[in-house]
Structure 1
Amino acid sequence: MNAPFRIKKTLNNNAVVATDASSMELILIGKGIGFGKVKGDIIKGDVIDKLYILTSEKEQEQYVSLVRSLDESFIELLNDVITHIEKRMQTTLNEHIHVALTDHMAFAVKRLEQGMDIRNPFLLETQTLYPKEFTVAEEVIEEINQVLGIHLPDGEIGFVALHIHSAVTNRSLSDINQHSRLINRLAELIEESLEIKLDRKSINYLRLVRHLRHTIERVEAGEKVDKQEKLAKVLKEEYPLCYNLAWKLIKVMQNTLNKPIPEAESVYLTMHLQRLT
């Protein structure tokens, strides 16, 4: 990315599409960067606050469309928010977050203005699964609330946390949401089978959810787990209800993920289930 940059399209007073010396197309953000500028004008690096490559043509089109349809101050706020996320997470984010989070927050603010409140059924699970992302999401929602003088519902913290996790791990939101739904389904199955009501804020529940998350990640990554035949035999005899339920949960995971689950997982799951009872 070599300065100076040549303007290809002015989006608003603070955003332009430009090309660098190697003809790479970029989106440049800066106060007044597009004011009075036309196609072909040169921009030097010292007036640029932020620079986005957005290598996907589709994403660049989506971002251009968003910038043109939303208030400049809102775009500026979301750019500051994304910079804050990157600093707090101490990693480079997938650039898709510029499109995905900006679009999501614009829609969230619009819903609030219209008196609509979309519940987030996975809020506690999200906080348990992704604690750092959740903490940063709390900061993001607080900043947006303060700047815009609004009060977004707490459920939005969970949605933003998932966007952050998606941008950090380069995983799609649909995959992440599938895992959240799976864990929620397993929790409901545990309650039904053991005839208990899980305390979703208890340490044992948090441990179970984290274990399920790591199990799913291991399965997705194809990691092997050492067999625990002796321990499995003891647990099967001592805690037959929990042991059988563990296998029931494993079958649900296998069917959902469409991948085999190592037998040893039944041992660890049984111990977590026993703690819950």
Structure 2
Amino acid sequence: MVIHKILNNNLILSRDGQGHEVIVKGCGIAFQKKKGQQVEESRIEKIFTAENAQISKEIQGYLTAIPEKYLDFVEAFVNDVKEKEGMKLNDSIYFSLSDHIMGAISRLENGIRLQNMLLLDIKQLYHKEYEIGLELLKKVNEMFEVDLSADEAGFFALHFVNAEDGGKTDSYQISIIVHQILDIVEKYYDNMEFQEDNLYYQRFLTHLKYFAQRFLHKELHYDENQELFKIIKEQYREAYGCVKMIYLMMEEEYKYAMTEDEMLYLTIHIQKITEDHKCLKNL
């Protein structure tokens, strides 16, 4: 592999077999080397592939600004997760997660703790990633001798969600939309408490997650079923009243008019949840 540019003693720019720009990391890989020279293959620890020139510059910025101890720690943890969980993660997670951990520790040292307002939603929507976040939190606290709170586990989880989706999904924005809709349902039904392990609730959460994802990426396509919608909104008037509140929120906050089909599915989901909730209360 030929050196195209030396970033520091441990980082170089090069190109792969297809001519794509790559960033190569290795201890002392560029020591006493010059542009145009070959690097020793045995010194290569990690090769980062950039999708385009802008991302390449961002990666270079991260790698040169973040201390090695954070990068090495995250690289080892992420690689272990990939192997154990079989997850395909975008290379961006090595930099974004390292930067986040460094920032969290810096904030803690200055007496600043960020509260994760979406922690409960993240735990419910991204259970596997949250468990990974908890494991990472434990290791960070042990490795760097700090006491980061569980809020950070939720933030860590979102890095894995984004990387798993190839960076396409804005998991934080999805969590916000889901939180807003759940908040409307809770208040509409007099602060009804959801049962997290309830099957209907889990199905509702899944529906909301993918609704938010499709909305954010302009992928909302439905077949209007006006006759069924008319029957359902008459039969489940209370649930439909709740859905109208959700409709108004989406229109006001996101300038989006929900389709009748989406309102139909939401009405059915909310009806099932509330019916089940009433049954449990009467037991």
CA contact (8 A) 2:81 2:87 kept: no
Correspondence for 1:106: 102
Q: Which piece of structure 1 moves more, 189-198 or 19-28?
A: 19-28
* CA distances 1:127-186 after superposition (whole Å, capped 9, x unpaired): 22222322332333233233223232111121122122222223467x432222122122
* Alignment match, 2:281: none
1:135 maps to which residue?
131
Question: Structure 2 counterpart of 1:19, which letter?
Answer: S
**Structure 1 residues 58 and 98, CA gap change in structure 2 (3 angstroms):** farther
What is aligned with 2:227?
A: 229
**Aligned-partner Cα distance in 2 for 1:254–1:85:** 40
TM-score computed with the length of structure 1 as normaliser: 0.81
The residue correspondences of 1:125-274 to structure 2 (distance < 5 A) are 125-171=121-167, 175-199=170-194, 201-203=196-198, 204-219=200-215, 220-225=218-223, 227=225, 229-230=227-228, 232-233=230-231, 235-274=232-271
Structure 1 spans left out of the alignment, 5+ residues: none
Choose from 14, 34, 38 the match for 2:33: 38
The CA distance in 2 between the partners of 1:120 and 1:181, in whole Å, is 11
Q: What stretches of structure 2 of length at least 5 have no aligned partner?
A: 278-283
Q: CA deviation at 1:47?
A: 2.3
Report the Cα offset of residue 122 of structure 1: 0.6
Q: How many residues align?
A: 269
* DSSP-derived class of the 2:93 partner: helix
TM-score (norm 2): 0.80
Deviates more, 1:72-81 or 1:17-26: 17-26
> d(CA) in 2 for partners of 1:28 and 1:105?
22
Paired residue secondary structure (1:128): helix
Contact conserved, 2:162 with 2:168, CA < 8 A, in 1?
Answer: yes
Residues 194-238 of structure 1, C-alpha deviation per residue, up to 9 Å, x if partnerless? Answer: 2124336352544332221122334432332562734752x4344
Distance of 2:219 and 2:254 partners within structure 1: 12
Structure 2 letter corresponding to 1:270 = T
CA spacing shift, 1:86–1:255, aligned 2, 3 Å: farther
* CA drift at 1:80: 1.9
Root mean square deviation of aligned Cα: 2.9
